[in-house]
Structure 1
């Protein structure tokens, strides 16, 4: 039997059905942009600030284990100011994290070994160094081989308030025969970097056939600070006992032994280098240094590279600490130049 609805009820049913039918109609799709045409703006990297942060992290890690451990970045002196200008605001967090600065080629070697550095370049560097020398030790390495130039290098650096070493081999693989005694030789006990009057830069042990020969040669000197490598050869590091032996000068005074550590480049002769590594693999390896075969610029802000250098028990810095070094001499600080200008 049919059910007959009143007119008013029928109208309500019709309207309801009409509304339902409209709601079932999908909205027209908006045009989409192909993913291949979406522009992604790369993150802007402040390469100088990233290097400052890297050094600060290294310092914090080392000093948490040995508060007297010295951190000395070499070159890249522009990092001491926030804007990279010699009269800029000092980068206080960075400066507080370090104990000194190293500078190569200040008076000799900037354009060529045993050649005076151009006056404009010398002045540029000294304007930065003079900002920091009152609070931090300045270690200058000049590359000169004639006795006249070596004497001038030591004299000029001393006059300017810097502690210096005249390297007669760019390879830093020997103890110079001249001068016979280090400039400013003394028998004082050197317990902090600020007390040092001279230093030896000997990071390439290629002329020494074994550890004993190297240790005996260094032990016979009176340098207040020795800058050297952790390894006599790949996978053959100096032990804590061997480094402790080097901490006494020939005249009986105590000295500091500081370890060289490249943080802006990876070196393919180091223990951490793995088979198959090269540019782009791992991703932090950026390019080979055209001036030094086997050395590769790294994206030093990359967490994986940082973990190679510090922060864990298998890191390079931990090995240095375990071997009783008194500090780390950090090289390729100026890698920010490469990334800014590539």
Structure 2
């Protein structure tokens, strides 16, 4: 399916409207806290009136949670057995000092004494955790600063949220250690080198599971293939995927960014090489726009439309304001379209941008 055909198929959906409407609703709930100047009392008789600067604080964390929860409500109503993953943004699952700071800023002046005791830092955000089936963490073992501690992994598993990891390990020894650590923690791991997300491994799969897999909790192996540019044709790419025996595939659903898979192609991938069923999930970028995507227009650039904020890390990628109503509508249309293709679920990608937005808001 070409980009133009995909665009025609995705007329405004109920999900797109819901996501777009939710953005201003959340924004209206956010209150502004005045910055209090230093005051001497009583003021001099001839003192000019003081100007109080109003500081607008953007609550990126609440807006991100709201967006994920809206998508979750949609998918639960449409396909109760579908799997919803979130890549990055693991800190959204726990109360942080940033959450406390934002709550303090949003509180009306003079009500601090009457406010209930806040939840302790580190408390699991249960309502948000219920919205997803799993969280994907990059570098739980081979990363510099893991997003989750072993204790947090244990708590998430106890609550029913599966932890998955993508490990880009520099050496075979590090990869072996990452597999052992994942097995000990009960984490579903994709382990490879720096470019493993663009490669589909051949040969015998270590730890291959010949049984059917119909739920994330049954999976023992997983393959993330989020970049298919190494393949000369869509057919070559699909043949390579069909030769795998992983229990779960998480893939980029567009070949080279603009050729969507068909329902028949998605269905064919739902069977391992040995013939038993598996899960196939689609990647959906939440915080990055691509100039090859079905929605992209030739006139678009940074600042036009307003949700395109900056160039991304690779050519053709652009950082977006994920709270913007127009962008949320595009996300909703894409989400609905991917479900129409028959995917078993969606991975919401790029949620690590929430932390960067927070840092920029403060600095």
> TM-score band (shorter)?
0.7 to 0.9
Give 1:199 shift.
0.4
How large is the RMSD of aligned CA atoms in angstroms? 2.3
| Contact 1:80–1:95 (8 Å) recurs in 2 | yes
Structure 2 residue aligned with 1:45, among 58, 77, 89? 58
TM-score, normalization by structure 1: 0.78
For 2:105, the equivalent position in structure 1 comes to: none
For 2:85, the equivalent position in structure 1 comes to: 72
Give 1:184 shift.
2.8
1:316 aligned to 2:334?
yes
Structure 1 residue aligned with 2:130, among 83, 96, 104? 96
Runs of 4+ in 1 over 4 A off after TM superposition: 84-87
| Contact 1:202–1:227 (8 Å) recurs in 2 | yes
Give 1:210 shift.
2.0
- 1:259-338 matches, within 5 Å, as 259-289=282-312, 291-310=313-332, 315-338=333-356
| Secondary structure of 1:97's aligned partner | coil
Give 1:128 shift.
3.1
Judged with a 3 Å threshold, the aligned counterparts in structure 2 of structure 1 residues 305 and 266 are, in CA distance, closer, same or farther, namely: same
CA distance in 1, matches of 2:301, 2:135: 31
Judged with a 3 Å threshold, the aligned counterparts in structure 2 of structure 1 residues 124 and 236 are, in CA distance, closer, same or farther, namely: closer
For 2:41, the equivalent position in structure 1 comes to: none
Judged with a 3 Å threshold, the aligned counterparts in structure 2 of structure 1 residues 210 and 159 are, in CA distance, closer, same or farther, namely: same
Q: Deviations over 1:86-118 (max 9, x none)?
A: 96222122111101010111111x3xxxxxx4x
Q: Which moved more, 1:332-341 or 1:126-135?
A: 126-135
- 1:103-182 matches, within 5 Å, as 103-108=137-142, 110=143, 117=144, 121-122=145-146, 125-134=149-158, 135-144=160-169, 146-170=171-195, 172-177=197-202, 180-182=203-205
Give 1:235 shift.
3.1
Structure 1's unaligned 5+ residue stretches are 1-37, 111-116
Give 1:148 shift.
2.8
CA distance in 2, matches of 1:84, 1:261: 29
Q: Deviations over 1:141-175 (max 9, x none)?
A: 10025433322221111111111011224361112
CA distance in 2, matches of 1:181, 1:125: 32
| Contact 2:209–2:221 (8 Å) recurs in 1 | no
For 1:339, the equivalent position in structure 2 comes to: 357
Judged with a 3 Å threshold, the aligned counterparts in structure 2 of structure 1 residues 146 and 89 are, in CA distance, closer, same or farther, namely: closer
| Contact 1:77–1:129 (8 Å) recurs in 2 | no
CA distance in 2, matches of 1:329, 1:167: 20
| Secondary structure of 2:197's aligned partner | coil
| Larger relative contact order, structure 1 or 2 (CA cutoff 8 Å, min sep 6) | 2
Structure 2's unaligned 5+ residue stretches are 1-50, 99-119
Paired residue total: 289
**Larger CA Rg, structure 1 vs 2:** 1
CA distance in 2, matches of 1:87, 1:176: 42
CA distance in 2, matches of 1:107, 1:74: 16
Give 1:191 shift.
0.6
CA distance in 2, matches of 1:140, 1:98: 16
| Contact 1:78–1:84 (8 Å) recurs in 2 | no
For 1:254, the equivalent position in structure 2 comes to: 277
